[in-house]
Amino acid sequence: MKSQKPKNKNSDFFDKVYEVVALIPYGKVTTYGAIAEVCGIKSSARTVGWALNGASASGLPCHRVVNRFGALTGRVHFGDPNLMEDLLKSEGVEFDKDNCVIMKKYFWQPPDLF
Active-site hit among 62, 65, 88, 93: 62
> Is the model's pLDDT at 94 over the cut of 90?
yes
Crossing angle of helices 9-21 and 45-53, in 10° steps, is: 80
d(CA 18, CA 51): 8
What is the set of domains in the chain, with CATH numbers? 9-106 (1.10.10.10)
Q: Is pLDDT larger for residue 55 or for residue 61?
A: 61
Confidence of residue 96 (pLDDT cuts 50, 70, 90): very high
CA distances (Å), origin 33, targets 20, 81, 109: 12, 22, 10
Q: 108: closest CA among 14, 28, 6?
A: 28
Confidence of residue 9 (pLDDT cuts 50, 70, 90): low
> What is residue 73's predicted lDDT score, i.e. its pLDDT?
92
Active site residue 62: yes
Query: Is the pTM above the cut of 0.95?
Result: no
The DSSP output letter for 63 is: G
